[in-house]
Structure 1
């Protein structure tokens, strides 16, 4: 079974099905001694109906894993690639959200560290230290915001959010920190880090069907519209 087929089962499609010949289904037979089946469903004499099968069913995602109605088969044009998933966030809104976050972090950082910056020679310890500080502050800011509510201030402004690909939950704990780390920390590696960052942020432009960047794939997250 492919990964996408496996995901579809978790996004609200029934994981088990009942074939013909079972009690109360067309072609089925009543249990001996139980009398004829009653209209509207099977007849269970003196016994409660059996519980639904566990695992893979729709009981956990009755309203869709992202909180929106999500009966099986309603992915695609009016929603995300999987049933119950809201539409994927557009690349333009994701970019503007990043720009807002950069401005929120780096404008105050520039004002605070300006006395330490040597404009005549950028290859100084002071300049390198301010760059390191900026990357670490952005990393911690994003990780804390994602693990607490699945949105940074920029994403809140653009009405998009990050959710776990499997069920739409907030990426609390490890996934949120992993996502933030893969986005920010490689920039600390001179030259190669910047190259990786560029490939990372552009990856969502050709990734299908979830438009994930590399930091999304590492954390198993997806960016969708927020309701």
Structure 2
């Protein structure tokens, strides 16, 4: 039987480290998706913030702003409203992640999705942890600033600290 030239065999997909003699070769599988720009992430967050404000914060503002002018007493105590704002922000994102398979309305509009380190869409529990870190970390000025800026120098996934805390990253929605 004649030997078949090596070029006649189709090359199977390789992963790093599977080259001859154990040398690393680049992967022949599909390339990694392009990184998400911080501007796109910020725009998605601002869309979500505007939507959250319209749905959850704005309805209670007139009552809080004009509480002294109200007849007998304000129906919503100040401490309830103060707790409601961050809690509603966390729940807005966590519920959106569960219902919309790892995206919020702002992320959907800008073509983004949040996935776990394994690539699965983020559900309610992981989304809740991610947003708790984001919202309550943002209440601490230095941590909020470092969290927001972290994705500028993080490579290769460009994760913010709240992504690292929840083992998530943002990708383009397909």
Pick the structure with more helix per residue. 2
SS in 1 for 2:27: coil
Quote the residue 1:52 is aligned against. none
Q: Where do residues 1-227 of structure 1 align in structure 2 (5 Å cutoff)? A: 14=15, 72-73=27-28, 84-118=31-65, 126-127=77-78, 129-148=80-99, 149-166=101-118, 168-187=119-138, 193-227=140-174
Question: 1:90-109 deviations in whole A, cap 9, x for unaligned?
Answer: 11111110000011011233
Equivalents in 2 of 1:217, 1:202: separation in Å? Answer: 13
User: Normalized against structure 2, the TM-score is what?
Assistant: 0.71
User: Normalized against structure 1, the TM-score is what?
Assistant: 0.56
SS in 1 for 2:48: helix
Equivalents in 2 of 1:147, 1:110: separation in Å? Answer: 22
Is the 8 Å Cα contact of residues 210 and 222 (structure 1) preserved in structure 2? yes
- Let me know the Cα RMSD of the aligned residues: 3.0
Is the 8 Å Cα contact of residues 44 and 106 (structure 2) preserved in structure 1? yes
* Unpaired stretches in structure 1, ≥5 consecutive residues: 1-11, 21-70, 75-82
Residue correspondences, number: 150
Which has more radius of gyration?
1
Is the 8 Å Cα contact of residues 118 and 126 (structure 1) preserved in structure 2? no
Q: Which has the higher contact order (CA 8 A, sep 6+)?
A: 2
* Unpaired stretches in structure 2, ≥5 consecutive residues: 1-12, 69-75
Distance verdict in 2 for CA 1:15–1:89, change over 3 Å: closer
